[in-house]
A = this chain, B = another copy of it.
Amino acid sequence: MVRLTYENRLKELGYSLPEPPKPVASYVPSVRVGKLLFVSGVLPLVNDRPLYTGKLGREVTLEQGYEAAKVAALNALSIIKSSLGSLEKVRRVVRLVGYVASAEGFNEQPKVVNGASDLLIQVFGEKGKHSRVAVGVMELPRGAPVEIEMIVQTK
């Protein structure tokens, strides 16, 4: 029995990969060293604009934050595909850090970051199960409510 490719599984789930972000001056979208791919911090941008702006616990609802984390994860997958040539080269998702822009008293960072985690499990199955850190920060670039960083083990 043949399994779907990870990218086809994404499509079946109703998602398509966005264009990977353009390389910028001072840093690159990812760096590979040995079997580890370090992905730069990724925002929930859609057509180069944040899907939402503001903080959880104030302007942004839990549902919107979850959605934003998912979109950031899609952008990260786009970088990973662009860097490795194919998502099939992913052997394991090792680490996900979710930074959540949080208003005073908001403590549901894990539920927000689940938007990224759930997508990774849906796409990669067992190989998508990752170690994770979720924290509430003061502000994020471009007023985004969520930023994620990832480390992936490659084949």
Contact = CB atoms under 8 A, between A and B. Distances in A.
Q: Number of contact residues on A: which range applies?
A: 35 or more
Nearest to A121: B26
Given A33-B36, A94-B33, A27 B135 contact: no
A139 B40 contact: no
Given A33-B35, A117-B26, A131-B31, A139 B136 contact: yes
Contact of A95 (B38, B93, B106, B120): B38
Interface in A5-40: 25-31, 33-36, 38-40
A102 B95 CA distance: 25
Contact of A136 (B33, B140, B153): B140
A28 B35 CA distance: 20
A41 to B, nearest CB: 4
Nearest to A108: B141
Contacts of A149: 97, 133
B121 A151 contact: no
A125 to B, nearest CB: 13
Contacts of A35: 33-34
A63 to B, nearest CB: 16
A109 interface: yes
Contacts of A57: 139
Contacts of A86: none
